[in-house]
Amino acid sequence: MHAKTIAEIAKDLRNKEYSSEEITQHYLDRIKRLDPTYNSYVTTTEELALEQARAADQRLAQGDNNPLCGVPIAHKDIFCTNGVRTSCGSKMLDNFVPPYDATIVENYKHAGAVTLGKVNMDEFAMGSSNETSYYGPVKNPWNTNCVPGGSSGGSAAAVAAQLAPAATASDTGGSIRQPASLCGLTGLKPTYGRVSRWGMIAFASSLDQAGPLTRTAEDAAIMLNTMASYDAKDSTSIDKEVPDYTATLNDDIAGMTVGIPKEYFGEGLNAETGARVEAAIEEYKKLGCNIKEISLPHTHLAVPAYYVIAPAECSANLSRFDGVRYGYRCETPADLNDLYKRSRGEAFGDEVKRRILVGTYALSAGYYDAYYRKAQQVRRLIKQDFVDAFNEVDIIMGPTATSPAFEFGSKGADPIAMYLEDIYTISTNLAGLPGLSIPCGLVDNKPVGLQMIGNYFAEGKLLNAAHKFQQSTDHHQATAPNLD
């Protein structure tokens, strides 16, 4: 059962091959047995999951036709869950139990999905390797000596290890797509505003966006149908009709124009990774797509602009964690100032502290114009590059990451080297565009991802192109070795 996709599980449930309670228990047993190896879960919600599964079985018996009804999923521990610890991978929130659900959690509950638990992540979503989590690093199921990517490494590892058929995730600079690439999955970052951010603990508010991590593009479409919604509680939510993303999966893509940015195939790209991506682009030629070289000339400025803007927003967002209202509080503070200093100093990890300091500096008097304002101007140039490109092409394709999964500790001493892991993904967050990563082959028995970038609200087009590729290839069917 654990090797099945969402679409297959939904079909089996309706055919009464097994019940939601049975498949939920199956996954819970696998998590208990196998997750000590991967460390993908922070909290397993066994009692809640079985209660939801029994309720889903009643709905199914009454003819509920929602494809997610009775399907077990995992939630990244960045999404607030009523009555369930939501830690954001940090000591600061190790004891935080929200009194409400994030909007996307609520959406999945209404659909009848079953919550298996909350999965591990880089602390406050800051990291590209899942090495910054307070609960320890997550292991990549393809090679447990390697990272799964970050910050949604727990979501990716749980799905790749078949400890959940799908998981929610979030993407601030590539945190869905890069783990999808490193773990051989399909990962979608929707257009900014397409999915509500209410109840998602904020890192960088103008960049954060929730999305799904799944085995296939079809499953991603099913997940997005429920995840996407207008939400009056989120001021950045877009009041735009949500289409049925599964309805256009099989549309013909012959004649589609695919743009290949020359900046994505230069220095820094692993040669074998580049070869797998180019082979995937050749497959699109066979499917009838027109391939056109384009330029995104400000790509080289994306990383420095991002690492001014994101830390600045992080500095503001994380100021609420002060030891007073909720979260970690230091022991016997001498006074209020000591409470603030020690609570934050003891509870935040090194990477979070680094970004708070960088962001506070960039926002401080005398430096705001030189750094933050300039970064926002660069952001506008990056967005214009994409606007110009989409006047000529339908979809942009290139690598998701510079290389396959790297070993633990290999980049930890050099924050800049870690930041450059996001070089191909950051631009889409700065521009607010949708991006998708799908498996396109292996290098040294580790997955490689093909990234597709679409115009605003073109998630359906991305999923259609990905689905057609997955119908004509079998890269997405490859599974990590030694799965029990």
Query: Does the pLDDT at position 447 exceed 80?
Result: yes
Q: What's the mean pLDDT in 204-213?
A: 97
Is the pLDDT at 96 greater than 90? The verdict is yes
Cα distance between residue 28 and residue 479, in whole Å: 20
Taking the CA atoms of residue 169, residue 172, residue 176 and residue 181 in that order, the dihedral angle to the nearest 10 degrees is -160
Tell me the C-alpha to C-alpha distance, in Å, between residue 476 and each of 156, 182, 185, 437: 14, 13, 7, 11
| pLDDT for res 419 | 77
Greatest Cα-to-Cα distance within the chain, rounded to the nearest angstrom: 70
pTM tops 0.75, yes or no: yes
- pLDDT confidence of residue 415: 76
Statement: residue 414 has pLDDT above 90: no
Distance of CA 16 to the CA centre of its chain: 32
- The pLDDT value given to residue 163: 98
Distance CA 292, CA 450 (A): 16
- Which uninterrupted H or E stretch holds 224? helix 217-227
Parent domain of 307: 1-484
Q: When comparing pLDDT for 474 and 267, which is higher?
A: 474
- Model confidence band, residue 420 (pLDDT cutoffs 50, 70, 90): confident
**pLDDT of 462:** 98
Buried b (16+ CB within 10 A) or exposed e, 308-332: bbbbbbbbbbbeebbbeeebbbbee
Q: Which two tokens stand for residue 55?
A: 């309720």
Residues 117-176: pLDDT tens digits? Answer: 999 999 999 999 999 999 999 999 999 999 999 999 999 999 999 999 999 999 999 999
Least confident residue range of 1-5, 406-410, 412-416 = 412-416
**Letter for the amino acid at 197?**
R
Rounded CA-CA distance 245/119 in Å is 26
Q: 403 with 273: CB under 8 angstroms?
A: yes
Query: Does the structure show a pLDDT above 90 at 411?
Result: no
Distance of alpha carbon 72 from alpha carbon 159, whole angstroms: 11
pLDDT of residue 439: 98
Q: Report the alpha-carbon distance of residue 203 to residue 186 in Å, rounded.
A: 23
**Mind spelling out the 3-state secondary structure of 407-442?**
ECCCCCCCHHHHHHHHCCCHHHHHHCCCEEEEEEEE
Q: What is the pLDDT of residue 421?
A: 84
Token readout for 269 is: 């790209």
- Average of pLDDT values for 312-340? 95
Measured CA to CA, the distance from residue 253 to residue 249 in angstroms comes to 10
Q: What is the CATH number of the domain that holds 47?
A: 3.90.1300.10
pLDDT of 37:
97
Q: Is the peptide bond before 151 cis (omega within 30 degrees of 0)?
A: yes
pLDDT at 389 over 80: yes
Question: Two tokens at 154?
Answer: 């727990």
- Min mean pLDDT across 69-78, 313-322, 362-371 is at 362-371
Give the pLDDT mean for 234-257: 97
Give residues with Cβ within 8 angstroms of 87, minimum separation 6.
Answer: 42, 43, 77, 93, 94, 96, 118, 134, 135
Banded pLDDT at 416 (limits 50, 70, 90): confident
Structural domains of the chain, count: 1
Enzyme catalytic residues: 76, 151, 175
Check: CB of residue 408 under 8 Å from CB of residue 460: no
Helix %, strand %, coil % for the chain, to 5? 45, 15, 45
Task: Report residue 461's pLDDT band, with 50, 70 and 90 as the boundaries.
Answer: very high
> Residue 267's pLDDT is what?
87
* Average pLDDT along the chain: 96
Which tokens sit at 69?
Answer: 């009804």
Q: Give the separation between CA 39 and CA 32, rounded to whole angstroms.
A: 11
Strand pairing of 257-261 and 290-294? parallel
Give every CB contact of residue 30 below 8 A, 6+ residues apart in sequence: 2, 162, 163, 484
* Cα–Cα distance for residue pair 319/348, rounded to 1 Å: 12
Q: 127-143: string of b/e by CB count within 10 Å (b at 16+)?
A: bbbbbbbbbebbbbbbb
